[in-house]
A and B are shown apart, each in its own frame.
Chain A
Amino acid sequence: MTDKRPEMGITERELNALTRDLDDLHQTTFPGVRGMLDEFSANLAGLARGAAKNRRGFLLGVGGATTLGLVAACSSSDKGASTTSTTAAASTAAGATYEGDLKVVALAAALENLAVTAYTGALDAAGKGTLGTVPPAVGVFVQTAMKQHKDHSDAWNGVLSKAGKPTITDAPLSITADQVKALGEAKSVPDVAKLALGLEQAAAETYTFATANVGDAGGIMTAATIQPVETMHAAILHFILGEYPVPDSFIGVEKAVKPDVLLAK
């Protein structure tokens, strides 16, 4: 590739080499994540088979693994109510394909697929000229972020597959139609960047929430190692939009996507 911008002190070839080095680093990191996911899968598979406890004794049994969103609050002074709610939640979840931690895994896979869909749509729109002139750096951002979201989706689907559950290959979420519609109406790079920023923030906050609400140690750490990547995507998108890139001192959970948004049952 030739240097497109001679005023730059660093060539694109050098920057691309740097990117390749970073990609190598990612490939080095990935086996560790795979090991974590394998253990998570084994734990969930054991749960799916009705095992009372997982191999590390960390994951709670089905009775304790209540479905998210079904119990809003359990006060410490009302332990009886807490127990009742837990039982009700387990009963409500009976017969569902995805329940407990697996529902969070399915939600995560769907969210990642939605991000891939959005970035794919952005690339398609860019190719058709709908978004006007797309800066090359923005194109590289979209391609790289899309690949990472695909990696995340593959990871979560690997867990579902090993747990004997159907994988989530699209985005069965009640929010998907609106997101796709908004993407279709985008007329510029900032329009798409704002849409992507919303998805990245939602994903990051969902994973932040998941760290406190997933029961399995492997699942917790998988969410914990993906969340910073989504926040990094968000920071770069803020920058592209001309906004201050790190606006908050703490990542919140107000924008977290709730499991009941998942349409796959």
Chain B
Amino acid sequence: MHHPIDERGLRELLVESDDLQSDAMRSAKRDLGDYVDAALEARSESRDPGGQWPGWGRAGLAVGLAGAGTLLAASPAFADTALDVQALQTAASLENLAVATYKTALTLPFIGGADANGVVKAFATKTMAQHTEHAQAFNGAVQKLGGKVQNDPNAKYAAVVQQAVPTIKGAGDVVALAISLEDVAAQTYTKNVGQVSTAELRQLFASVAGVESQHKAILLAVKALLDGGAPQLIALPPDAAKLPDAAGSVGFPDAFFPTDKASPVEEGAVK
């Protein structure tokens, strides 16, 4: 297999990417901390009918730190810490499954071994690390809210993966499986934005949904090229002149991101 990839260049890109990611991670952790404080405050103030709407103060501060105005916090009637914990646990279960799946995929010769495309291998490695960070973030919030951390993979989709593994014959099969997992995660978090109780948690789920959808976009493009028998075009930088026309659009099929495959909030909750 021909791999027209500048390995040194790719490593430099990954280092730059890690620097950017570290900045984003610090921001996300700060937002998570604000969310936890706001949720705990909400729980405390919900016992005090005279108290102000939960989340207003801390959330306003968080938004102020982000550089802009005020926010509209949920009223006590909508603050539901138990539901928030379930959503976070379900999210962690999806992340744990993604990590395990990429880890297994990287043991396969055509993903992480000698036969692998360098870009696909680097992508799988980096994506696994990003899912690890997402799981840590979700579980960190669960723990601070007094819930039990979710260390297990999502049972429903773990069964799907288990069923798919014996049928895997090449990189295209792995990529197809990864697309399914990324899609479910992105759709779940997109839907969670409208289900959780505070502004900070809405922003957190949106923040991660955007990343999972990016994973999906790149995997869709990669799959089209693999299915087309053109793995040599999976390269950084790509030889754009040789890419098939439709490769320019296959990565983002919907003008509005769907949520019909979203996991129910309680699906991955710790019993």
Q: Bits for A221-232, please: 1 = Cβ < 8 Å to B, else 0.
A: 101111111111
Contacts of B214 in A (CB 8 A): 231-232, 234-235, 245-246
A139 at the interface (CB under 8 A from B): yes
Across the A-B interface, how many residue pairs have beta carbons closer than 8 Å? 331
The answer to whether A65 touches B72, judged by C-beta atoms less than 8 angstroms apart, is: yes
Contacts of A10 in B (CB 8 A): 224, 227-230, 244
A79–B52 Cα distance when bound, in Å, is 8
A140–B207 Cα distance when bound, in Å, is 27
With A254-B27, A254-B67 in contact, is A225–B257 under 8 Å at CB?
yes
Count contacts on B: residues with CB < 8 A to the other chain: 91
Contacts of A155 in B (CB 8 A): 256
- Residue of B at shortest CB range from A214? B72
User: B100: shortest Cβ distance to chain A, in Å?
Assistant: 18
The answer to whether B211 touches A249, judged by C-beta atoms less than 8 angstroms apart, is: yes
User: Which listed segment binds A: B13-21, B81-89, B110-118, B141-149?
Assistant: B13-21
A143–B24 Cα distance when bound, in Å, is 31
The answer to whether A246 touches B238, judged by C-beta atoms less than 8 angstroms apart, is: no
A58–B197 Cα distance when bound, in Å, is 12
With A22-B253, A215-B72, A254-B67 in contact, is A242–B236 under 8 Å at CB?
yes
A177–B237 Cα distance when bound, in Å, is 31
A89 at the interface (CB under 8 A from B): yes
Size class of the A contact interface (CB-based, 8 Å): 35 or more
User: A227: shortest Cβ distance to chain B, in Å?
Assistant: 6
A86–B53 Cα distance when bound, in Å, is 13
A119 at the interface (CB under 8 A from B): no
A179 at the interface (CB under 8 A from B): no
B194 at the interface (CB under 8 A from A): yes
The answer to whether B21 touches A248, judged by C-beta atoms less than 8 angstroms apart, is: yes
With A5-B242, A138-B248, A249-B211 in contact, is A68–B255 under 8 Å at CB?
no
B residues with a Cβ closer than 8 A to A are: 10, 13-14, 16-17, 20-21, 23-25, 27-28, 41, 52, 56-61, 63-72, 78, 123, 126-127, 129-130, 133-134, 137, 186, 190, 193-194, 199-200, 202-203, 205-218, 221, 224, 227-230, 236-238, 240-260
Q: Shortest 7 CB-CB distances between A and B: which pairs?
A: A9-B229, A76-B57, A242-B237, A73-B64, A10-B228, A22-B253, A15-B246
